[in-house]
Homo-oligomer: A and B are copies of this chain.
Amino acid sequence: MVRGMSTTTSARDRLVDAAQDLFAAQGVGPTSPRAVLAASGVGQGSLYHHFPTKHDLAVAAVGATVDEALTRALRTLGGDSPAVERLVAYLERPRDALAGCKIGRLTSDQAVMDDDGLHDVVTAYFVRLLGTLTQVLRETGLPDDAARDRAHAALAIVQGGYVLARATRDPDALAAAVRGFVGLLTQTVPAPTVPAPTVPTPNLPTQEENQ
């Protein structure tokens, strides 16, 4: 019950840590409680003392992963710089493309999709992220509907980029998708004649490279 006891690494914390790692590596379904047990170093009974079922363990571990990811994302998207710049910074953030998105991958995990409590945690992550992205895009002067659509596109680029990278075993596939999207996003008017751009072209600051 007592969460966040920082004094020592409780069996509970070790279990959640191990579960997060294994879930990220191989998904929830294929990860057995026994494997979490072995990785954490605690005994069989301890697991079932803290987490009566695999569901309980999964909710705790996936919840922790979502919290961490959301914190990082919102920090990137919430700075002082111009909105487009923050969006591009989010898109271009270094990512372990071949590993896939720890959370996005769960949408293909039958054990997660079949479990309402677990699914809700995943849903909350994406709803929150889409809301924030929409907000950022509204700052660029886009109407509400267009901002929402473009937010979906931006997040789809990241999630789809992960899929492409894993499918082709090419870590650059995610980076390529991001480049293609950012190219469109920051494009000046094709300008055969008229100059005025839709999106105020930002001076692309030298961003961190994609891994």
Contact of A168 among B130, B166, B184 (CB under 8 A): B130
What secondary structure prevails in chain A residues at the interface with B? helix
Interface status of A154 (Cβ within 8 A of chain B): yes
Interface status of A108 (Cβ within 8 A of chain B): yes
In the complex, per-residue mask of A168-188: 1 if CB is within 8 Å of any chain B CB, else 0:
110001101111110111010
Contact at B146–A152, with CB atoms within 8 Å? no
Residues of B within 8 A of A180 (CB): 146, 149-154, 156
Q: How far is the CA of A42 from the CA of B45 in the complex (A)?
A: 42
| A→B interface (CB under 8 Å) | 26-27, 29-30, 100, 103-111, 113, 119, 122-123, 125-127, 130, 146, 148-161, 163-164, 166-169, 173-174, 176-181, 183-185, 187, 189-194, 196-198
Contact A185-B183, Cβ < 8 Å, known A109-B108, A160-B160, A168-B126: no
Contact of A150 among B174, B184, B193 (CB under 8 A): B184
Q: With CB as the reference atom, state the residue of chain B lying closest to A184.
A: B184
Q: Which of A185, A187, A197 has the most CB of B within 10 A?
A: A187
Residues of B within 8 A of A174 (CB): 156
Q: How far is the CA of A103 from the CA of B176 in the complex (A)?
A: 20
Contact at B152–A177, with CB atoms within 8 Å? yes
Q: A36 CB to closest chain B CB, in angstroms?
A: 16
Contact A164-B168, Cβ < 8 Å, known A107-B100, A108-B108: no
